[in-house]
A and B are shown apart, each in its own frame.
Chain A
Amino acid sequence: MPFEKGAKAPKEQPPRKLSGHRTARLCDTLESVSGTSPEATEGEAGRAQAGLPKLSGHPTEGAVLGECLGALPDCRILPGIFRVSDHDTDDHLEDIALEPLPLDAWHRAKGARMVPFAGYEMPIQYAGPFGGIVAEHNWTRESAGLFDVSHMGQLVLSGPDLDAAVEARLPIDLSTLKLGQQRYSLLLDEEGGVLDDLMVSRWPEALYLVVNGATKWDDMGTLREALPDDITMNYLDERALLALQGPKAADALARHAKGEYPLSALTFMKFGLFKLAGHEVTIARAGYTGEDGFEISLASEAAAEIADLLCGEPEVKPIGLGARDSLRLEAGLPLYGHDLSPETSPIEAGLIFGINKRRRTEGGFPGADRIIREIAEGTQRKWVGLKIEGRLPAREGADVFSGADKIGTVTSGGFSPTLQAPIAMAYVASEHAALGTQLEVEVRGKRLAATVSPTPFVPHRYYRGS
């Protein structure tokens, strides 16, 4: 029995359209794991950002967080920085051999099964009585899971007229992104296709970006090419990234996070500077599971100590990429390279919140013509959730039918441990995209009944303040 057959492992990342720039070759070793990934993609990010809640007991969150962030070292002198220049993206990046991720040995010591992913070896699941995708998935939903997402790219941009330069490349409205806030955004090509999805946070005098692991080298090239020479782009290649996710994540992390204000002052999509066991870290309240949770950026050399510290809490166990994928699927969050690609537009994917309001009328970013047209006129197809009858999962690539007509394709699918039923995400022709529409998905010649269903499949439980 060949392992992993039907679930065609993640497609290679599609080729980039980067004129005048060679594509780094390291990007796409997405293999063998039925897609799991990276991205702190946050469905509700955009929806949440309009009316920013005030934190009771604090002045404005901006002020509180700003004070704290004032203590951040200038990003340009942070240790472990690899500065990306034009020279680097043209030649140097091609020759970088990927080091093992900072927690490689830590995962192996925990009995992780390591698989190639995004050019690295990553844990798909752990051994032991609490290991395995379903057990890890359920643990995260009920308690708290620690995910190593150090393969993702952490970038810091700084320089004169930074906001205008970045707005020329991303469909984000930076005038409403305050210090200490994080927002979901999209890197689009000239035709409005998705090159990547990413998080953008405002640091003092800088913007901090988290991009997908498999696309980070291409993203750096794309950004470097687009941004003026006096904008500095630093790749934080000696920083690890840990995600602590689940309803008990806040309890566990609050025992260790020391800052100028309590961890509870961070609400969804906010971040600040804290100390964990004496190490300076940034903590964002965000994630990729639909649960309350945090993403912790820290120096690579502190990663094992902090991972041990957090896993020493009774609520916390390490969780692999396998459960990360089933969790994000239940949460209805897209996975780049599967649900999003240069062949898909963010409007088709329902990611209009990633095109900030002002930009929907002003444009001025790559692909704006198509995006603005699609907002006005609608799209031919839409990305929808499907609940599938029975127990047989439909995987990426399965055809979707309405009667005899093929009207769509599954982009992510699997068995939901929470719902105990197969679920999928698919692009379908817009006339078949209404909630409740009865469709069929074909798996190995069999037609399975499927119903267009609301997403998330499992409700999000983000912390928006008490």
Chain B
Amino acid sequence: MPRYYTDEHEWIDVEDDIATVGITEYAQEQLGDIVFVELPEVGAMIEQGKDAAVVESVKAASDVYAPITGEVTETNSALEEDPALVNSSPEDAGWFFKMTIAAPAELDKLMDEDGYKAFVEDL
């Protein structure tokens, strides 16, 4: 299953016609202790590059943008009880939401793992 990355530090896994979205290890480390995650409503239409979720760390609130356009189909309810999952398992158990893929061509503009790794090293 291919994984893509954005330059806003989101990752996106594509399986068939559904994508799973979260934030990267680098992002969680920069944010520090996460105390709250505000997720979109299931059924919401979100647009590539626009606000999709908000992560609250002890020190600040940060937007998470939609990596692609589509409809939210599921959110990770485990984050309500345990937002720190984003710190402990950002690229696995700490996923944010699943969504449809309205425009598959949008994926082409995203980075692959090596591309993202190089991007982070340059920061």
Residue positions of A touching B, CB distance < 8 A? 1-7, 33-34, 124-125, 132-135, 137, 322, 325-326, 391-393, 395, 414-415, 417, 422, 444
Q: Are the CB atoms of B59 and A132 closer together than 8 Å?
A: no
In whole angstroms, how far apart are the Cα atoms of A124 and B38 in the complex?
25
In whole angstroms, how far apart are the Cα atoms of A441 and B32 in the complex?
24
In whole angstroms, how far apart are the Cα atoms of A2 and B31 in the complex?
10
Residues of B within 8 A of A392 (CB): 36, 38, 56
| A415 partner, pick from B55, B58, B62, B63, beta carbons under 8 A | B58
| B83 partner, pick from A326, A391, A417, beta carbons under 8 A | A391
Residues of B within 8 A of A417 (CB): 33, 58
Q: Is the interface of B mostly helix, strand, loop or mixed?
A: strand
Output the residue of A1, A3, A124, A133 with the most chain B CB within 10 A: A1
10 A-B pairs, CB-CB below 8 angstroms?
A: A2-B62, A5-B61, A6-B54, A6-B63, A124-B59, A132-B32, A134-B33, A391-B36, A391-B83, A422-B35
Output the residue of B36, B58, B64 with the most chain A CB within 10 A: B58
Total residues of chain B contacting the partner, CB 8 A: 25
Q: Are the CB atoms of A4 and B33 closer together than 8 Å?
A: no
Sorted from nearest, which 6 A-B pairs have the closest CB atoms? A6-B61, A7-B60, A415-B35, A134-B33, A4-B60, A34-B59
Q: Is B3 an interface residue (CB 8 A)?
A: no
In whole angstroms, how far apart are the Cα atoms of A349 and B91 in the complex?
44
Residues of B within 8 A of A393 (CB): 35-36, 56, 61
Q: Smallest CB–CB gap between A410 and chain B, Å? A: 13
In whole angstroms, how far apart are the Cα atoms of A417 and B27 in the complex?
21
In whole angstroms, how far apart are the Cα atoms of A220 and B59 in the complex?
31
Q: Are the CB atoms of A415 and B56 closer together than 8 Å?
A: yes
In whole angstroms, how far apart are the Cα atoms of A216 and B33 in the complex?
32
Residues of B within 8 A of A134 (CB): 32-33, 58
| A1 partner, pick from B10, B33, B36, B83, beta carbons under 8 A | B10
Q: Are the CB atoms of A1 and B65 closer together than 8 Å?
A: yes
- Across the interface, name the chain A residue whose C-beta is closest to B53: A1
Q: Are the CB atoms of A3 and B31 closer together than 8 Å?
A: yes
| B30 partner, pick from A3, A325, A391, beta carbons under 8 A | A3
- Across the interface, name the chain A residue whose C-beta is closest to B84: A134
Q: Smallest CB–CB gap between A351 and chain B, Å? A: 25
Residues of B within 8 A of A414 (CB): 58-59
Query: With A125-B32, A133-B32 in contact, do A1 and B55 touch (Cβ < 8 Å)?
Result: yes
Instruction: Produce 1/0 per residue, B47-89, CB < 8 A to A.
Output: 0000000111111111111000000000000000001000000
Q: Smallest CB–CB gap between B109 and chain A, Å? A: 17
Q: Are the CB atoms of A6 and B60 closer together than 8 Å?
A: yes
In whole angstroms, how far apart are the Cα atoms of A322 and B60 in the complex?
10
Q: Are the CB atoms of A5 and B62 closer together than 8 Å?
A: yes
Q: Is B23 an interface residue (CB 8 A)?
A: yes
Residues of B within 8 A of A391 (CB): 35-36, 83
